[in-house]
Structure formats: structure tokens, C-alpha cells
Amino acid sequence: MHNALSSLKINEEANALADVWLALPRRAGSNIPAKADFNPMQLRRYLRASILYQRTKSGDVIIRVVGTRVEQLLGQFLTGKNILTQVPPENARAYELYFKNLSCQPCAGIVERPIHSPGGGSFLVKTAHLPLLDENGQATYFIGIAAASSLPKHFTDYRSAAVRAAHNLDISYVDIGLGVPDNSETTLARGA
């Protein structure tokens, strides 16, 4: 599993997230650690870039904890909000399917999309997510690390308001020992 998570290691924070997640105990032979065994302080130095989500029975994805660096980048307070109502409307269905896929076919994932910050800058944000089990043994929690960088040249069009965000969303899945969603699920989640 260590090799599989190498694609999640998008920066120093994501390396720490993968290492912490791998070090968590597994109950009853599960491939996935329980949320009860995760303490955010295990990510001490990287809490500012961390996010904890919970997917509810209704399919909402509630942000339970979000680091200050993420909130500053996005220019809004996000704790307690449904991520599906916070992303651009054209991306909401893709995010809904993405978190459903992470939950129903427990795996890790990466979402990459350009954003406009309230300060006027444009950034490429990559977020790596790893599942955690709830008290019923279901993958309904996800810890994530967000990393922002400048936009690569192929995203220069994104600076124009005429470019739709849906065409710039990239979603990928990483097998943690339980498989990944089939190709049609992946295509749907990419918004294709």
C-alpha cells in the first residue's frame, strides 16, 4: 500500500498525511483506519492545510474541520458547510459522485482544479483525500490536504471568466487495497 500512496504525495503536507494515515491502527483486519483513531494533532505542522469531511446518509459532504490556510485561500469560513454547495455549480455533481465513489468503493483520491481567490489571484489547488471509517465501519469520513500552486501555462485560459470551471476539474482515484471505481464512475465524476 505504501507504493500505491506515492501518487498522493503531491507536496510535503500530503506526504505527512499519507504517513499519518498509514501509521493509524486497523481494526479487525480492515484496510482503512477508523476516524476514532485519528487525532488531527498527528498532522501538527500541517493543520493549516488540512480538511476533515463527513459524507452523510443524504449524500451531503459536510466540512467538519478546515485549516486556516485553506479558508484564507478561498476567502470564506467553511466549517460546518456542505462542500457540494461551496464549489462552482458546474462542479457540484462531479464532487457528489467523487465522494460517493470514495465512500462506496473505499479508495483515496485527488481533486485538482483552478480557483480564483478573493484577492484576485488564480491558483491550481490539488487536494488529496484518504478515507476513515465511522463507528459503523463505513467509509464516511475523509481527511484531506490542500496544496495551492500557480497555474501552469495550459490553464492560462482559466483566467478568462468565459472559461467554465467544469472543463478544468481533474479527478483521480488511488487503490488502497480495495480497488477503485470503474471507468464509467470515474468519467462521470470528471464531468465528462
pLDDT digits (tens, 9 = 90+) for 50-84: 999 999 999 999 999 998 888 887 778 889 999 99
Residue 98's pLDDT is 93
pLDDT at 3: 58
**How many structural domains does the chain have?**
1
Alpha carbons 181 and 65: distance in angstroms, whole number: 26
Give φ, ψ of 154 to 5 degrees. -70, -5
Distance CA 118, CA 128 (A): 23
Residue 65 belongs to domain spanning: 4-189
Task: Assign 163 a pLDDT band (cuts: 50, 70, 90).
Answer: very low
Residue 164: which residues within 8 A CB-CB, separation 6 or more?
90
CATH classification at residue 106: 3.30.450.20
pLDDT at 70: 82
Beta sheet of 50-55, edge-to-edge order: 61-66, 50-55, 139-150, 122-133, 108-116, 170-174
Give the whole-number percent of the chain exceeding pLDDT 70. Answer: 81
Structure confidence at residue 162 (pLDDT): 41
Helix residue ranges per DSSP H, 24-119: 68-74, 83-86, 89-104
Give the lowest-confidence range in 74-88, 100-114, 115-129.
115-129
More confident residue, 76 or 32: 32
Stretch among 15-24, 73-82, 83-92, 152-161 having the lowest mean pLDDT: 152-161
Sorting pLDDT into bands at 50, 70 and 90, what band is 9?
low
Residue 139 predicted with pLDDT over 80: yes
